[in-house]
Amino acid sequence: MYSPTRTLLIATGMSLSMAAMGVSASTVAQDISDARQEAQIWTTYTLSPYLSASDLSVVVHDGLAILTGKVNDEVNKDLATQIALGVSGIQKVDNQIVVQADFSPPATTARGYNQVVEDASISAAVKSKLIWSKYTDAQAVAVETLGGQVTLTGVAESAKAKELAGRMAMNTRGVVSVDNQLKVASVATSVAATAKQTTAAASQKITDSWITAKVKSTLLYSSNVSGADVGVSTDAGVVSLTGTLSSGAERALAIELADNVRGVKSVNPQALSF
C-alpha cells in the first residue's frame, strides 16, 4: 500500500539533491508536484468507504496518474479513475487496477488512516458534548475511541452524571459501543466540585447565541436524532425547538439533549412534532 508521507519526503529529498547537482528548478518543482498529487489521490482513496479496504498504489508523472492494485468491483475501479481525475493537475489516468470479485485485503490489526480520522472525530464530538453539558465535568473525563468503541475514564460527580455521560457518548454518530469506566466521586468531593462549577458558571456569561449553537451541534452529533430537521432558537436561556421528527422517542431525546446543554433554563418543544 502506498505511503504518501514517505513518498513526499523522499521526493522532496531527491529534488533538493538534484537541485544541488544543477538540475533545473522546473524539474524539482515537477517532482514535488507529482508527490503531492500522489498523496492527495491516495488519501482520498483511504477516506472513501468503497476503496479504503482496497489494495491500491498510485504513481504520478507529469500529469499522468498510474493506478495499480486490486478491487472487487468494476464500479470501484471506475471510481478510482474519477477520484484521480478530480485532483488538480491530473490530465490523464492509466488505470491498471485488476477487478477480482473474490478479492479481500490482507488481514491487519492496524487501523487504517480513515479509521484513525473517524475515531478522532468521534472522540472530539463526545468530548464537546460533555463540555457543553451542565451536568458533567468534561475536565475530569477522558475519551478514547478505537474502531467506534468509546471508553470513558475519569471521575463523575454522581451516579446520574456517570449515566448521562455514557448516554451522551452512545448517542454520538459513529459510536458502536461505550465502556463507561467513570468512577463516582465521594460525596464531599462531589459537593465541592458542584460548588466550583456553579461559581464558574455564574462568573461566565452564557449568551443565547452560544446556547443555540451548542444545542444545534449536540443534535447534529447525535445518531438517534435528525438534527438537521430541528430548528433551534434561544431567548433568555429558554430554548425553542421546531420541526418534525420521525417518532415520539426521537422527539423526547431531542428535548433531553437540548435541556442538558449548559445555560439552558428550560426547553419549549411545542412546535416540535412527530
What are the extents of the domains in the chain? 4-99, 113-202, 208-273
| Range with the poorest average pLDDT among 10-19, 79-88, 164-173, 177-186 | 10-19
- Answer whether 4-99 and 113-202 agree in fold: no
- Report whether pLDDT(17) > 70: no
Record: fold of 4-99: Histidine-containing Protein; Chain: A; (3.30.1340)
The single residue listed with the C-alpha cell 430548528 is: 231
Could you give the CA distance from residue 169 to residue 223 in angstroms, rounded to a whole number?
10
What three-state secondary structure class fits 88?
Answer: coil
- CATH number for the domain whose boundaries are 113-202: 3.30.300
Handedness of CA 38, 43, 49, 53 (dihedral sign): positive
What is the tens place of the pLDDT at every residue in 142-195? Answer: 999 998 999 999 998 889 899 999 999 999 988 999 999 999 987 545 544 554
**Which among 249, 202, 203 has a CA at the least distance from the CA of 225?**
249
The predicted pLDDT at position 201 comes to 47
Q: What angle do CA 233, 235, 238 make, to 5 degrees?
A: 85
Contact 99, 73 (CB under 8 A): yes
Q: What angle do CA 218, 205, 154 make, to 5 degrees?
A: 50
| Distant-in-sequence, close-in-space partners of 72: CB < 8 Å, separation ≥ 6 | 54, 99, 100, 101, 102, 103, 104
Beta-carbon neighbour count of residue 74 at 10 Å? 11
Give the N- to C-terminal CA distance of the chain in Å, as an integer.
48
What is the tens place of the pLDDT at every residue in 123-149? Answer: 999 999 999 998 887 778 999 999 899
Helix, strand and coil percent figures for the chain, each rounded to 5: 50, 25, 25
- Report whether pLDDT(42) > 80: yes
| Distant-in-sequence, close-in-space partners of 141: CB < 8 Å, separation ≥ 6 | 127, 130, 152, 153, 154, 155, 156, 165, 182
Domain 208-273 has CATH 3.30.1340: yes
The C-alpha cell at 12 is: 522532496
Could you give the CA distance from residue 35 to residue 92 in angstroms, rounded to a whole number?
16
The predicted pLDDT at position 140 comes to 83
- As a whole number, mean pLDDT of residues 101-122 equals 75
